[in-house]
């Protein structure tokens, strides 16, 4: 048993304290970001945690496999945590596949955001997560989160640090179309952060205390950019279907395949996933 397993075992006997993976606050208070990113691109929003999640999962299954004296309560608690970790891996892989689909269908639109710069020509990272439909407080298919850095009002900031934007998309059938819409918001807001903040406060001040969800008034420049991006994606998707003579897999189908593959990965995740039926 290595040191990591020892620490986990200490937390199990009794009482069991589940390993809690580092999480980030969804809504970041204005003027609190401190990290700086050197290279901008579209990134999988789960990538910072995925290595730790995989390592934690391997160690938890090893603990179960190597300890025959675990109580039923302790085993259930570990299995519950494993379920959560496998779910995180599933959404990481789903995000990877959907971003690949988006890039395949609309490469120009993807590359435009993948090389996005702000008003001062600094590259900006755009972190994308495809998430369960009940995972956000804002009940919308897609949401874009950014604020201003305390050191520079032209610097966008999210839970990932300075020069970043956070985009979250519900796992719905039109998830890629929703992503195109949100990336339109990103494109405008990153390069007009100061002026759009002023516009937003003037026109949407009443809802600012509830969320950073951007409205869609007729004259909203960010909303118009989002609509234009969505129109471009629709056109590209139509062309893609004609060329490929078929549809791409929906997020629901992709997730079923991902979970099936994870359930068959005996070497990585141990027998507990199979005997416990955790992926059902």
- Written as six digits, the tokens of 239 are 């062309």
pLDDT at 204: 78
**Strand 142-145 versus strand 125-131 pairing type:** unpaired
What is the reported pLDDT for 39? 52
213 found inside a domain: yes
SS3 state at 208: helix
Q: How many domains does the chain contain in total? A: 1
State the residue range of the domain holding 211.
Answer: 3-275
pLDDT of residue 99: 97
pLDDT at res. 145: 93
pLDDT of residue 120: 95
Task: Note whether residue 76 is domain-resident.
Answer: yes
The region that residue 121 occupies, defined by phi over 0 for left and psi between -120 and 50 for alpha, beta otherwise, is left
Residue 199 domain-assigned (yes or no): yes
Does a structural domain hold residue 280? no
Inter-helix orientation angle 107-114/175-191, to 10°: 40
User: What is the reported pLDDT for 243?
Assistant: 82
pLDDT at residue 138, rounded to an integer: 73
Q: In what order do the strands lie in the sheet with 125-131?
A: 42-44, 125-131, 164-170, 142-145
Q: What is the pLDDT of residue 15?
A: 36
Q: Is residue 262 part of a domain?
A: yes
Residue 231 forms part of a structural domain: yes
**Global confidence as pTM:** 0.77
| 122 located within any domain | yes
**Sheet architecture: strand order including 161-162:** 147-148, 156-158, 161-162
The mean pLDDT values, 10 residues at a time, for the chain of 280 residues are 41 34 29 42 94 92 83 87 92 96 95 95 96 80 92 95 96 95 96 92 68 65 95 94 78 92 61 42
In a domain, 121, yes or no: yes
pLDDT of residue 246: 63
């Amino acid at each position: 048993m290595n040191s990591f397993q020892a620490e986990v075992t200490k937390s199990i006997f009794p009482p069991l304290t589940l390993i809690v993976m580092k999480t980030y606050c969804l809504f970041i208070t204005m003027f609190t970001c401190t990290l700086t990113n050197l290279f901008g691109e579209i990134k999988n929003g789960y990538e910072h945690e995925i290595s730790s999640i995989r390592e934690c999962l391997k160690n938890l299954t090893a603990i179960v496999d190597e300890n025959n004296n675990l109580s039923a309560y302790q085993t259930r608690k570990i299995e519950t945590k494993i379920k959560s970790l496998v779910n995180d891996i599933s959404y990481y892989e789903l995000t990877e596949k959907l971003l690949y689909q988006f890039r395949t269908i609309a490469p120009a639109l993807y590359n435009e955001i993948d090389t996005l710069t702000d008003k001062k020509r600094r590259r900006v990272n755009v972190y994308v997560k495809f998430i369960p439909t009940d995972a956000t407080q804002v009940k919308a298919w897609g949401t874009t989160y950014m604020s201003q850095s305390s050191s520079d009002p032209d610097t966008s900031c999210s839970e990932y640090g300075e020069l970043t934007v956070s985009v979250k998309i519900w796992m719905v059938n039109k998830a890629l179309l929703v992503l195109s819409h949100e990336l339109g918001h990103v494109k405008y807001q990153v390069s007009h952060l100061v002026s759009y903040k002023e516009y937003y406060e003037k026109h949407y001040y009443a809802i600012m205390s509830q969320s950073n969800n951007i409205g869609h008034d007729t004259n909203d420049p960010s909303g118009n950019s989002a609509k234009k991006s969505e129109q471009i994606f629709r056109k590209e998707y139509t062309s893609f279907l004609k060329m490929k003579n078929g549809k791409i897999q929906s997020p629901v189908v992709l997730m079923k395949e991902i979970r099936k593959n994870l359930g068959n990965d005996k070497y990585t995740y141990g027998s507990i996933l199979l005997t416990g039926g955790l992926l059902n």
